[in-house]
Amino acid sequence: MASDMDRRSFLKIGAVGATGLAQGIPAASLAETKISGDKDPGVRQYVELGKTGLRISDISFGSSQIKAGEESLVRHALAKGVNYFDTAEDYARGISEPVLGRALKGERDKVVIGTKTKAYASTRASDLMRSLETSLTRLQTDYIDIYFNHAINSLDRLQNPEWFEFIEKSKQQGKIRFSGMSGHAGNLAKCVDYAVDNDLFDVLLLAQNFGQDPVFYERFMRSFDWVANQPMLPRAMEKAKAKNIGIIGMKVLRGARLNDMRPFEQGGATYAQAAFKWTLSQPYVDAAVISMTSTEKIDEFLGASGQREVTETDFKLLEQYARMTDLTYCRHACNDCEGSCPYGVDIADVLRTRMYAVDYGNLSFAKTEYEQITTNANPCLSCDGKPCQDACSHGISISSYCGPTHVMLS
Does residue 335 interact with ligand SF4 by CB under 6 A?
A: yes
Least separation in angstroms between residue 297's CB and ligand SF4 is 26
Least separation in angstroms between residue 118's CB and ligand SF4 is 20
Residues that bind ligand SF4 (rule: CB under 6 A) add up to a total of 26
Distance CA 16, CA 32 (A): 8
Distance CA 355, CA 363 (A): 10
The only residue of 149, 380, 405, 409 in contact with ligand SF4, by rule CB under 6 A: 380
Least separation in angstroms between residue 394's CB and ligand SF4 is 4
Nearer to ligand SF4, 35 or 351 (CB): 351
Least separation in angstroms between residue 122's CB and ligand SF4 is 26
Least separation in angstroms between residue 327's CB and ligand SF4 is 10
Least separation in angstroms between residue 306's CB and ligand SF4 is 32
Distance CA 194, CA 165 (A): 18
Handedness of CA 293, 254, 8, 248 (dihedral sign): negative
Nearer to ligand SF4, 320 or 335 (CB): 335
Nearer to ligand SF4, 24 or 344 (CB): 344
Nearer to ligand SF4, 99 or 383 (CB): 383
Beta strand segments in 151-263, E: 176-183, 203-207, 246-250
Does residue 347 interact with ligand SF4 by CB under 6 A?
A: yes
Task: List, in sequence order, every residue forming a beta bridge with 55; answer none if it has no partner.
Answer: 48
The only residue of 201, 331, 355, 366 in contact with ligand SF4, by rule CB under 6 A: 331
DSSP designation for 64: T
User: What does the buried/exposed string (b/e) look like for 271-306 if buried means 16 or more CB atoms within 10 Å of the residue's CB?
Assistant: bbbbbbbbbbbbebbbbbbbbbbeeebbbbbbbbbb
* Helix (H/G/I), strand (E/B), else coil: 249: strand
Least separation in angstroms between residue 362's CB and ligand SF4 is 20
The only residue of 66, 341, 358, 373 in contact with ligand SF4, by rule CB under 6 A: 341
The only residue of 152, 330, 357, 409 in contact with ligand SF4, by rule CB under 6 A: 330
Nearer to ligand SF4, 13 or 396 (CB): 396
Does residue 188 interact with ligand SF4 by CB under 6 A?
A: no
For residues 63, 68, 69, 75, the Cα torsion angle rounded to the nearest 10 degrees is 10
Closest residue by Cα to residue 280 from 40, 35, 16, 43: 43
Does residue 387 interact with ligand SF4 by CB under 6 A?
A: yes
Nearer to ligand SF4, 136 or 345 (CB): 345
Distance CA 226, CA 159 (A): 35
Distance CA 280, CA 170 (A): 31
Stretch that binds ligand SF4, among 40-48, 55-63, 188-196, 394-402 (CB under 6 A): 394-402
Stretch that binds ligand SF4, among 37-45, 138-146, 217-225, 395-403 (CB under 6 A): 395-403
Does residue 185 interact with ligand SF4 by CB under 6 A?
A: no
Does residue 404 interact with ligand SF4 by CB under 6 A?
A: no
Q: Measure CA 380 to chain center.
A: 29
Tally the residues of the chain. 410
Least separation in angstroms between residue 354's CB and ligand SF4 is 11
Reported for 90-94, long-range contacts at CB under 8 A and 24+ positions apart, including other chains, are 90/118, 90/150, 90/372, 91/63, 91/64, 91/66, 92/63, 92/64, 92/65, 92/66, 92/67, 92/365, 92/368, 93/368, 94/138
Distance CA 348, CA 333 (A): 9
Does residue 379 interact with ligand SF4 by CB under 6 A?
A: yes
The only residue of 59, 77, 125, 396 in contact with ligand SF4, by rule CB under 6 A: 396
Residue 93 and residue 138 in contact, taking contact as beta carbons nearer than 8 Å = no
Q: What are phi and psi of 239, to 5 degrees?
A: -65, -40
* Interaction site with ligand SF4 (CB under 6 A): 330-331, 334-337, 341, 343, 345, 347-348, 351, 377, 379-380, 383, 385, 387-388, 392-394, 396, 398-399, 402
